Structure 1
Amino acid sequence: MSAFSPTSVPRLIVKVGSSLLVAPDGTVRRAWLASLVADIAARARAGQEIAVVSSGAIALGARRLKLPKGGRASLEDAQAAAATGQIALSQVWAELLGAEGLTAAQMLVTLDDLEDRRRYLNASATLGRLLSLGVVPVINENDSVATAEIRFGDNDRLAARVAQAAGAQGVILLSDIDGLYDANPNTNPDATLIPRVERIDARIEAMADGGSGSGMGSGGMVSKIAAARIATAAGAHLAIVSGHVDHPLAAYDSTGRGTVFVAEKAAPARKAWLAGGLTAKGEIAIDAGAAAALTSGKSLLAAGATTVSGGFARGDLVAVVGPDGRTLARGLSEYDMADAAAITGKRSAEHAAILGYAPRAALIHRNHMALL
């Protein structure tokens, strides 16, 4: 039995990948989906609140529109397929959940809905209310309007961000693989499943394989580890579990086979939102001294910055990059890019003369920054 199971948390997010929900011929795998819905219903009757992040709209729509390459030959095809397939996807979820006595709700979100703080709080409030009413929200990215520049790109990271917004304590990614291996199990018969990950470090990231086994989805192990970073930083366990069995939640609950990424101590809500951000308007590179100061809980001062880049304004989210090129933190800039560049590497006493106005205490204040 795993340290994390679907019965062990009050609020759970379940992500379903395209290859599990949609057969290669573009039809819904209805019998399998009904078995998953039965698992969800059993958990709901036991008092657990569950939301679903469901892929499959593009794959379903492509079949109905007879589009090549699964609807992914062009952005326009993908958007048309998503608009068509989303109706079918919602209908089958509503029908199967209804047969179990559950009410379904649809939420379509874009990247900006969860990256903009005000819209994020609105989405959070809606999710919370639906779950408190016993409704099962079925969530997907709004691919009919999303473009390459403003989209999650995979539902693994969307599920983790939804978990954060919903205040969930657990995420299960139902996948075409049963967890993280120390090597690619498709090519290496000696690959070993990693049952538990306490910390996501370079060793864990090196085990990731960017490919999706089915060719139908858009995620791979890289996106799942990225999702795990977001979820665990927000205080939610995340499990990667095989969906290639009937009743996959019940099967995981009984066997515990999968990989669990163990939650960190939950950060305050605002800092968790900052840490989970997927977009940044700019970047501030810092020296080793500044990196050490950040890890000890200090604000980022201009004297410790080496370069700035991007077109950010005051209040925009920016990434803080250490001397080794690794992103150390995300935070809200106290300056626009031009002024930040002017005082980069300069001591605080010099700032007023350079800027022509009374300077702020830091480039990024510690209260508006989250370490990664």
Structure 2
Amino acid sequence: MAIEQLSQLRNARRIVIKIGSALLVERGRPRADWLATLADEIAELRKTSEVIVVSSGAIALGAAKLGLARGGRGSLADAQASASVGQVALARLWADAFEPHDITAAQMLVTLGDLEDRRRYLNAAATLGRLLEMGVVPVVNENDSVATEEIRFGDNDRLAARVAQAAGAEAVVLLSDVDGLYDRDPREPGATLVERVDGVTPDIIAMAGDGSSSGLGSGGMIAKLQAARIAERAGIALAIVNGTQERPLARALDQGIGTLFVPQGAEGARKAWLSGRLSPAGVLTVDEGCVAALQGGASLLAAGLTEVEGEFQRGDLVAIFGPRGERLGQGLVEYASSECRLILGLREEGQAEKLGYAPRAAVVHRDHMVRE
């Protein structure tokens, strides 16, 4: 569905909501009442949408518990120690907030490599999909206890956009301490809220000032614009709205207060790099029945496989061809080449016997495939 205005975010099939440290933690203590209200809103939103939460706050919570200065960000070692302690508190906080709604929360800690490396990306995507399928709300955070400056997202705004890509979400909502993007510093007289952005251009970036006013977070408006760029290229709508208000989601969606970045990509950044930026490690040839299924939007199943060429591992890129040598597309394969040869042409019941374990949903899942 096309999302052209904030109110339409309620219709998103799957949505990612990002909450920053400054909203969740005040003077080292969780804002439990505010979180309870937000949990009410998320519970209401789940009647129409699947929801993933990207939550900051572990370092701030851990630093308060350990009595570390500068919110635990005085050194990398302090931040890692704070995150290790704070992750326990953060997970408990979300579990308690959702408990009155009979919603199960799951903690999912990721590093940059988990969403950049193709095999680990597939694992993360599969975990998110399975949790949502079971009605669980994944609460995702960067694993700051092991991340270093060289291998980290650096802020949860960009992480939220990457998680949305992996999860196949249609929308991202970044809860901020301002109403959205302004044409200049919002503290300046005459500053005007930009309600809609059709493409993050240099002119749009020039409107933003870097840094976080709270001192707790690691992002700022620049980071949010970088997240918006990631999202828009993936065909995902992204909104920046004010999280400091009472019932922030209702205020933004019902009253239209915020900034909506309209999707720009038809297929998305994930499928763009799948289709043009990687060299396939192997070739899968399929029969006529599979050709018709793929053209209808289905995943590639082992039953339709007729030939496997090349040596590859799970998560590698493979090209897909039809029986007459016509190129159908390419995607990330769920099995190694040796396993693909074992289950060639087999239906699900025969695959388990050959593999020695329950087969996966597909050889190449439609979410990880681009078609010609």
Give the secondary-structure state (helix, strand or coil) at the position aligned to 1:107: strand
CA distance in 1, matches of 2:208, 2:117: 29
Say if 1:129 and 1:16 are closer, same or farther in 2 by CA, change over 3 A: same
Q: What amino acid is the match of 1:6?
A: L
Q: What amino acid is the match of 1:39?
A: E
Q: CA deviation at 1:4?
A: 4.9
Give the secondary-structure state (helix, strand or coil) at the position aligned to 2:231: helix
CA distance in 1, matches of 2:9, 2:62: 31
Partner of 1:246: 246
Q: CA deviation at 1:272?
A: 4.5
Q: Does 1:232 align with 2:235?
A: no
Partner of 1:77: 78
Match among 19, 28, 31 for residue 29 of structure 1: 31
CA distance in 1, matches of 2:48, 2:255: 22
Q: CA deviation at 1:251?
A: 1.6
CA contact (8 A) 2:128 2:138 kept: yes
Out of 159-168 and 120-129, give the one that drifted further.
120-129
1:246-297, Cα deviation, whole Å (9 max, x unpaired): 221122121110000001233267434679x9xxxxxxxxxxxxxxxxxxxx
CA distance in 2, matches of 1:10, 1:222: 28
Q: What amino acid is the match of 2:199?
A: R
Match among 6, 16, 19 for residue 16 of structure 1: 19
Partner of 1:178: 179
CA distance in 2, matches of 1:208, 1:269: 24
CA contact (8 A) 1:266 1:272 kept: no
Say if 1:96 and 1:250 are closer, same or farther in 2 by CA, change over 3 A: same
Say if 1:192 and 1:11 are closer, same or farther in 2 by CA, change over 3 A: same
Q: CA deviation at 1:57?
A: 0.3
Give the secondary-structure state (helix, strand or coil) at the position aligned to 1:229: helix
Q: What amino acid is the match of 1:67?
A: L
Partner of 1:41: 43
Give the secondary-structure state (helix, strand or coil) at the position aligned to 2:48: coil
1:162-212, Cα deviation, whole Å (9 max, x unpaired): 0000000000000111101110012x1211110000111111011111111
Q: What amino acid is the match of 2:40?
A: A
Q: What amino acid is the match of 1:68?
A: A
Taking structure 2 as the reference length, what is the TM-score of the superposition?
0.71
Give the secondary-structure state (helix, strand or coil) at the position aligned to 2:250: helix
Q: What amino acid is the match of 2:210?
A: G
CA distance in 1, matches of 2:67, 2:224: 30
CA contact (8 A) 2:199 2:232 kept: no
Partner of 1:135: 136
Partner of 1:305: none
Say if 1:240 and 1:108 are closer, same or farther in 2 by CA, change over 3 A: same
Partner of 2:326: none
CA distance in 2, matches of 1:83, 1:210: 28
Give the secondary-structure state (helix, strand or coil) at the position aligned to 2:241: strand
Say if 1:178 and 1:274 are closer, same or farther in 2 by CA, change over 3 A: farther
CA distance in 1, matches of 2:136, 2:273: 25
CA distance in 1, matches of 2:172, 2:133: 18
Taking structure 1 as the reference length, what is the TM-score of the superposition?
0.71
Give the secondary-structure state (helix, strand or coil) at the position aligned to 1:7: helix
CA contact (8 A) 1:164 1:273 kept: no
Q: CA deviation at 1:47?
A: 3.1
Give the secondary-structure state (helix, strand or coil) at the position aligned to 2:139: strand
CA distance in 2, matches of 1:10, 1:123: 19
Please give the residue correspondences for 1:1-372 in structure 2 after superposition, counting only pairs within 5 Å. Answer: 2-23=5-26, 25-44=27-46, 46-186=47-187, 188-267=188-267, 270-272=270-272
CA contact (8 A) 1:209 1:220 kept: yes
Q: What amino acid is the match of 1:32?
A: W
Instruction: Mark the runs of 5 or more structure 1 residues left unpaired by the alignment.
Output: 278-372
Q: What amino acid is the match of 1:43?
A: L
Partner of 1:312: none
Q: What amino acid is the match of 1:162?
A: V
Partner of 2:366: none
Give the secondary-structure state (helix, strand or coil) at the position aligned to 2:190: coil
Q: CA deviation at 1:236?
A: 0.8
Q: What amino acid is the match of 1:38?
A: D
Q: What amino acid is the match of 1:79?
A: Q
Q: What amino acid is the match of 2:205?
A: E
May I ask how many residue pairs the two structures share in their alignment?
Answer: 275
CA distance in 1, matches of 2:103, 2:38: 13
Q: CA deviation at 1:6?
A: 3.5
CA distance in 2, matches of 1:195, 1:202: 17
Say if 1:144 and 1:256 are closer, same or farther in 2 by CA, change over 3 A: same
CA distance in 1, matches of 2:179, 2:273: 28
